[in-house]
Structure 1
Amino acid sequence: MSDAVMFPYFYRTVPSDLPLLTWTVKLLKYFGWTWVIIIASDDDSSLRAVQTLKEEIKQDGGCIAFIEIFSHINGIPPKEAQHIYDKIHASSANVIILYSDKLYATSLYKHTQIRRIPGKIWICAVEMDFPSSFPLHMGPKNNTLTFTAAKKNIPSFLKFVREMDPILLPRTNHTLEWWRGLCDSRCPKSIKRSCSTNQTSPFFLHCEAKYFGSSYSVYNAVYAVAHALHDMIMSDTGNTTLRSGGSHRSLDSLPWKIHHYLKNVHFKNILGENIFFDKNGDIAIGYNIINKVHLPNGTQINEIVGSFNPYNPLEKDFTINEKLIVWDSAFTQIPPQSKCSQSCLSGFRKLTNQGMPICCYDCIPCSEGEISNQTDMDNCIKCPDDQWSNQKRDACIPKVITFLSYEEPLGIALTLISIFFFLINAVILGIFIHYRDTPIVRANNCYLSYILLISLMLCFLCSLIFIGHPKKVTCILRQAAFGMTFSISLSSVLAKTITVVIAFHATKPGSKLRKWMDSRFSYYIVLSCSFLQALFCLFWLFTIPPFPYHNMHSETGAILIECNEGSTIAFYCVLGYLGFLAGISFIVAFLARNLPDSFNEAKYITFSMLVFCSVWVSFIPTYLSTRGKYMVVVEIFAILASSAGLLGCIFIPKCYIILLRPERNNRKYLTKKWND
C-alpha cells in the first residue's frame, strides 16, 4: 500500500512498520548488540522485512547468528516450538528480533518456554499491543522491548469514552468485548463506565492502559481530513455553485480534488504537534520504545523508555532513557550484552576468524610501535616516527633520546680508558725526553719518536670527541681529528721503519743510500703522507661533511642521535688510506725484522702493525653489523686498541730497558751486540 504509483490516494495515518527496521538497527547499535537472532513468520511481508533487516544489520557492522522462520497458518506445533527453543537456548546470541504480525507472534508467545529462556532479550520489530494480547499467565519476564506508534493523551478523551453511547460503535464481538471491559469494577473512576453489572475479567484490563490503542492516530486522521476539506472549500468557491439549477452541491469531483489538499495538509493539532503527510503518504509521527514491565504484585505496565521520529531534527530523532528500563534479574550485566566475541580492549585489535562472521574474532595485541586507543579496533594505529607505543599499546609516547653519553657506564668506562692510556703515553713521552741523550732513545731518530708519541696522545684524546651529544662541530671534528692523528702516527711509524732499513744498508761501502740518512728525509715522509690524508679530509668536509642525525629506526622505542658520515665514499677513503699506510709499514718492517736488535725497531713495528691491522680489519664487519650507539663504541674501541697496540709494541720494550735494564742502554753494549 506504500506504492504511490499503484495506490496514489492511500494515506497511512498509523506509521508504517518499515521504518521500524531501521530504528531497530539503531537500537542495536546504541546498546552495542552485534550478535542477534532473527525470528519471523513465513508470510510475504515478514520475509521481505527479514531480508531488509538482514542487510541493514550487516551494513551497520552487526552479525546474525541464525534466522528462524515459523509457520503462520495453523499455529506453531510443539515439535517446531521445541526446535526453536533448542536453537535459541544453545546460541550465544542474547538478542532476539521478532518480526511478525501480532496474531502470528501470539502463536509463538503461547509457547512460554521460548520467552522464558534466561539471559535473552526480545525486540519486537512490529507494533504490538501487549496488554490486550498477552495475559499474565503466559510467563511474565522483564526482557522485552517493543515499539508502538507515538500516542498522546487527547484532552477530554476519557470523558468521551465514558459517556459515549455504545450503540454508535460497530457491532463486532471484539468491540462489544472491549466496551464491556470498561464496566469492570477494577477500572479507575476516570474511565469506568456506569454499567448494570460489575463483572470482572481474567484478562489484563485495557482500561488501566495509559493510552488507548490507535485513538491518537484516528484523532489525527479525522482532523487531517477536516483541514483538507476546509482548505478545499476556502480555496475553491466553485464547489458552492448549484448544478443545472439543482439544489445539490457539486461533490462529484470530491475524491480526486480532496487528494490535492490532503497531500498538502499541514496543521498543528490540539497538543501543538505538527501534522502532515510525507511524500509516501505516511503521517509524520514517530514511534515510542516500550519496555514491558511485570511488577511483583502481578500487574503489568508498559513504560515508555525512548522514542524515534525521522521527522525531528537529526540530534533529536532518536532518544532513549536507560534509567527507565527494568531489566530482568537473570541478566548478570546491565545493560545486557550480546556479542559473538568479547570486546577487544585498548592495546588490542580484532583478528577475524576465517569462515566466521566478522563479529566473531580473536583479540591480538598491537605490534611494537602501534597502538589502539579504542575498543574493537580493526587495525592498530602506527605511532609517528618520533613516538613509540607504551607497554600497554594504548598510547604513543615520545621516544627516548639516546646517545653515548659521559653519564652512562659504557661512556664512563671508555672515558677512563682513554684518559688512562693518555697518561701512560704522557709518562712514556716524559721518560723519552728525560733520557733523550741515551743511545736507545737516540736510535732511529728520537724526534720521530716524539712525533709518534704526541700523535698517539692525540689519538687517545680524539676518542673522547666520540662521546657526548653529537653536534655539528663535534661530528666534523671527530672524523677530521681521527683521520689526521692516525695518519701522522702511521706516517711516523713508516718513517721510522724506512730509517731503520736505510741506516743498515747505508753502512755498506759505496752505498748510495748514505745521502738519504738526513733526518729531514724522515720529516718529509711524515709531512707528505699526512698531507695526502689532509686532502682527503678537506674534500670530505667541503663536499658532504658529517652531520648530526636523528635515527628513529635503529633502536626500538628510541631516537638515536648520531653523526652521519655524510659521504660514505670519503669515509672509507680515509680508512682505506690509513690501511694503506699500515700495510706499507708492516711490509717494510717485516722485511727488516732480522736486522740486529740493538739498533732495530723493525721487529717491534712489525708486531705493532700486526695488532693495528688486526684491529681495523675486524672493525669494518663489526661496525657494519652493529646499530645505534654501539657503532660509536666499536669505533672508539678500534681507536683505543690500535693506538695502545702501537704504544705498547714500540715503546714499552724501550722503557723496560731504560728503567729496568740500564746496563743495556750504553754504546759499549750496543756495539757488542752489533759485533756479535
Structure 2
Amino acid sequence: MAKVVRSVVQEVQEVQEKTESSPGKGSNGSQQESKVNNQAEVKTNKDRRNSSFNGDIISLLFAIDDINKNPDLLPNITVGYQVYDSCMEPSLAIGNILQILSGPGEMVPNYSCGDYGKVVAFIGDRSLVTTLPIAQFLSSYGYTQISYGATDPVLNDRTLYPYHFSTGLNDDVQHIVIAELVERLGWTWVVILAPGDDRGERESKNLRNEIIKHGACVDFIGTLTEDTNTNIRTLTRIQKSTAEVVVLCGGLFSTESLISLVETMIKDKTLVVPQTWLRLYSNMLFNGSLLFFIENNVCYKKSENNSYALVVKADLLYKDLYCYLYRCLTLDKEKDDLFQQVYGTDFYNCSSLEIPVFSQTPNYQVYRAATGLAHAEHLMLSSSGKSHQKDIHKYIHRKQTLKSECSPKCPPGYRKVTRERAPPCCYDCARCSEGEISNLTDMENCLKCHIYEWPNIEKIMCIEKQIEFLSYEGDSLTLVFIVLSMVSILLVTVIIGIFISFRDTPLVKANNRNLSFILLFSIKLSFLSVFLFLGRPSDITCMLRQTSFGISFSIAISSVLAKTIMVCIAFKASKPNSPWRKWLGVKITYFIVIICSFIQFLISAIWLIISPPFMELNILSEPGKIIIQCNEGSVIAFYIVLSYMGLLASVSFIVAFLARTLPDSFNEAKYITFSMLLFCSVWITMIPAYLSTKGKYMVAVEIFAIISSSCGLLFCIFLPKCYIIIFKPKWNTKQYLLGNNK
C-alpha cells in the first residue's frame, strides 16, 4: 500500500524537528529557494518574495499527484518528496543535500539512517549560485539532478556534470530568441544591462554578439554591482541614451534595493526580460516591457479543476506554507507558538479570508522536472536486467542537453572542410563559394547554380539573376538621358526655326546657310540616335546604334570641315584677280560633305556585312547579374569608325585654328576651333572610361559622349548666331559684318 506523504519545510531547523515526515516508497529531494531574510521583508515585499516560491511548491504538488494517480506510471509505487529551502546559500544547499541523504536527526555524511523509501533524484535549484555546487556534489555520489531554473550553458558539459539535467531554456537559446525579437520589431539600437559578476559579463557579451549578428547595434553594456554610486552612474547613462530598449541578461539582481533602483531610474525605457527573471514581480514589468516565459498550459488547466484544488489544500506542506505566507493561525497551538517565535511576528485568524490556492503563478519547469523524472524511473524499472537508483540518469531524454560531437553541424549555406590529420567527423564549415549553394545540413560539396541563376544571401537556394540594361521602366539613369536628349532635340528644332525665319539675313547667308541646315539636321540625328542605346537591346538596335551615330557624326563633322574650308576660300577669293574665286559656290562644300560621309558609310556597311553587332547576355562581368548588351561583332571596325571621326575632327580643328586670324566678317573659324577642341576632348576621354566600365554604365558613357559632343557643336557654332539674330539685330547687317560698324 502507498504510504501517506508528509512534507518537511527546512526554513529553520526548529520547524523541521516539529514537522513529521512520512514519504512514500520513492522520494524526491526538492531544493526550493526563497528570499525571506527578516521580518521587515515579510511585511513589505510579500508578493514579490513569495510568489515564485509558493508557485514552485504548488507545481510540485501538481506533478506528484499526477504521477501517483496514473496507474500506468510506476505501478505499486508512491512517489514522495522532501522540500528544503536553499535560501540562495550554497553552504545551506549542500547541508540540505547531506541531510536528505543521511535521514532525520544528526547529519552524518556517507551514512543513510532513513527508514523510508530511497531517494532517487533531486529537483532544483532555481539559481545557478546553488545549482552549480549541488551538481558538483551530486556527481560524486551519482545522484540525478534536474534543475528548473539554472540555465547557464556551463551546466551542459556532460563531462563535468553527467548527472545534471535542466528543464529551463538554455541561456544561449534565449539570447538567440531575444536577438530575433529585436530584429523582428525593427529595433536597431539597444542597451544591455547585466549584473557585474562573471555570469553577467559572459552572457552580456554573448547576447551582444547575437544582436549584432541579427543586424542591430548595442549602444553599450551596463553592469550593476554592489556599489550604489556606480549603479546610479550606469542607470543615468541609460537614461541619457537614445536607445529606448534595455535588454536584461544574466542572473537576477541580488537585492531588493537594487531592483527598486532599476525600476525607478529606467521606468521610461522598454525592457526585454529573459526567462531567468520570471521570479521578479516588479512595476518595471508593466510599462510595455516584454517577458519571456514558457507556457504553463498543464498547470493552468489543473488550476481550473476545483476537486484538484481540494487535494492541494489538504496537503500538510501547503497548510504550513499557507500559515507562513499569510501569517495565519492553525488549529495546532503548539505549531502557532513555534512559528510566531521563529518569525518574530504575530499570526492572525484567517478563517474569514478566502485566499485562492492558485493566486501564485505555477512553474511548469518544476512540473516537467518531476514528471520527467518519474517517466525515467519507469523506463529504468521496466528495462530488463538489474538496475540501481543511481542509473536513472541514463533514462532521461537528452534532446536538448546532451551533445557529443567533434564539430557542430554545418548549416545550409556552408560545406564541410576536412581537417588535416583528423577523423572524418572532425571538420570545419566553409561558406559556399561564389555562385554555389547548399540547401541541406552537413553537405560535403556545394551545388553550382545554373548559369542564369545566383545564390540568395544565405546561399541556400538559387534565384534568378538580376537582368540589367538601360530600361525605360524605373531606371533613373535612363530618365536623365531621355530628358537631356529631348531638351537638346527641342533646342535644335528651335534653332532650325530661327535660321529658317532669318534665312535671308546677312549673318545666316555669310555662314553658308545650306551647310548650317545640314549641320543642324545631323546634330538632331545624333541626339535621336541616343534612343537606340536605351531600352532592351536587340540585334536590330545593336546594328543601328553604332552605325547611326557614326554616320550622323561624320555628316556633322564633314559639314564643319566644309564650313571651315569655305571660310579660307572666301578670304582668299576676296583679293583682286584671285584664282580662288572659281571655287566659290555650293558645289565644293557639298562635295566635301558627300565624300567624307560616304567613307564613313562605306566603313559601316563593310562592318555590318562582315561582322555585324548583335545582342548577347553577359553573365560573367558582374556576379549575380545578367547584362543584356550589344556585342560589337568586330571591335576593330568599331574603333575604325571612331578613328575616322577623330581624323575628321582633327583636320577640322587644324584648319579652323589656322583660319582663326581671318577678318571679323569671317570669324566663324574661332567658334569651330572651340567646338572641335571640345569634340576631341570628349571622345579622347571617353575611350578609357568606356573600357573601364561594365554593363549599362558602359553604354551610359557612350551616350554621355554623344550628347556632350553634339551639344558642343550646337552651342559653340549656333548659339552666338542666335544671340545676334534675336538680341542684337543691328549686328545682323552687311555693313557690320564687313567691319563698317564704327
TM-score, normalised to structure 1, is: 0.52
Give the deviation of 1:376 after TM superposition.
Answer: 1.5
Aligned partner of 1:301 in structure 2 is: 383
From 647, 653, 659, give the equivalent of 2:714.
647
From 657, 661, 664, give the equivalent of 1:594.
661
Deviations 1:116-162 (A, max 9, x none): 999779xxxxxxxxxxxxxxxxx9999xxxxxxxxxxxxxxxxxxxx
Tell me the secondary structure at the aligned position of residue 468 of structure 1: coil
Deviations 1:622-641 (A, max 9, x none): 00000001011011100000
Tell me the secondary structure at the aligned position of residue 563 of structure 1: strand
Q: Is the 8 A contact 2:376 2:396 kept in 1?
A: no
Give the deviation of 1:546 after TM superposition.
Answer: 0.6
Q: Is the 8 A contact 1:141 1:328 kept in 2?
A: no
Q: Is the 8 A contact 1:444 1:499 kept in 2?
A: no
Aligned partner of 1:373 in structure 2 is: 439
Corresponding position: 1:405 with 2:475 = no
Q: Is the 8 A contact 1:388 1:398 kept in 2?
A: yes
Q: Is the 8 A contact 1:349 1:379 kept in 2?
A: yes
Give distance in 2, aligned partners of 1:338 and 1:620.
Answer: 63
Give the deviation of 1:297 after TM superposition.
Answer: 9.1
Aligned partner of 1:345 in structure 2 is: 411
Give distance in 2, aligned partners of 1:489 and 1:368.
Answer: 48
Corresponding position: 1:328 with 2:410 = no
Give distance in 1, aligned partners of 2:499 and 2:505.
Answer: 9
Q: Is the 8 A contact 1:386 1:552 kept in 2?
A: yes
Deviations 1:44-75 (A, max 9, x none): xxxxxxxxxxxxxxxxxxxxxxxxxxxxxxxx
Q: Is the 8 A contact 1:369 1:389 kept in 2?
A: yes
Give distance in 1, aligned partners of 2:404 and 2:440.
Answer: 19
Corresponding position: 1:480 with 2:547 = yes
Aligned partner of 1:620 in structure 2 is: 687
Give distance in 2, aligned partners of 1:297 and 1:624.
Answer: 76
Q: Is the 8 A contact 2:619 2:625 kept in 1?
A: yes
Give the deviation of 1:605 after TM superposition.
Answer: 0.3
In structure 2, the CA distance between the partners of 1:512 and 1:118, relative to structure 1 (3 Å rule), is: closer
Q: Is the 8 A contact 1:582 1:613 kept in 2?
A: yes
Corresponding letter in the other structure for 1:301: S
Q: Is the 8 A contact 2:380 2:395 kept in 1?
A: no
Aligned partner of 2:531 in structure 1 is: 464
Corresponding position: 1:671 with 2:738 = yes
Corresponding letter in the other structure for 2:472: Y
Deviations 1:598-639 (A, max 9, x none): 322100000000110010000000000000010110111000
Deviations 1:322-351 (A, max 9, x none): xxx9963272538x5432111011011234
Give the deviation of 1:558 after TM superposition.
Answer: 1.4
In structure 2, the CA distance between the partners of 1:504 and 1:326, relative to structure 1 (3 Å rule), is: same
Matches within 5 A, 1:253-652: 295-296=377-378, 299=381, 301-302=383-384, 328-329=395-396, 331-333=398-400, 336-354=402-420, 356-407=422-473, 408-652=475-719
Tell me the secondary structure at the aligned position of residue 346 of structure 1: coil
Deviations 1:283-306 (A, max 9, x none): xxxxxxxxxx97459735249xxx
Q: Is the 8 A contact 2:435 2:448 kept in 1?
A: yes
Corresponding letter in the other structure for 2:466: V
In structure 2, the CA distance between the partners of 1:327 and 1:644, relative to structure 1 (3 Å rule), is: farther
Give distance in 1, aligned partners of 2:394 and 2:643.
Answer: 82
Give the deviation of 1:480 after TM superposition.
Answer: 1.6
Tell me the secondary structure at the aligned position of residue 634 of structure 1: helix
Q: Which has the higher helix share?
A: 2
Tell me the secondary structure at the aligned position of residue 672 of structure 1: coil
Give the deviation of 1:587 after TM superposition.
Answer: 0.5
Alignment: residue pair count: 376
Give distance in 2, aligned partners of 1:475 and 1:140.
Answer: 76
Q: Is the 8 A contact 1:598 1:673 kept in 2?
A: no
Give the deviation of 1:596 after TM superposition.
Answer: 1.7
Q: Is the 8 A contact 2:416 2:444 kept in 1?
A: yes
Aligned partner of 1:661 in structure 2 is: 728
Corresponding letter in the other structure for 1:585: S
Note the residue ranges of structure 1 that are not aligned, 5 or more in a row: 1-110, 122-138, 143-292, 304-324
Corresponding letter in the other structure for 2:450: P
Q: Is the 8 A contact 1:596 1:673 kept in 2?
A: no
Q: Is the 8 A contact 2:664 2:739 kept in 1?
A: no
Note the residue ranges of structure 2 that are not aligned, 5 or more in a row: 1-139, 146-154, 166-374, 386-391
Tell me the secondary structure at the aligned position of residue 609 of structure 1: helix
Corresponding letter in the other structure for 2:586: S
Give distance in 1, aligned partners of 2:557 and 2:696.
Answer: 28
Corresponding letter in the other structure for 1:561: I
Higher-Rg member (1/2): 1
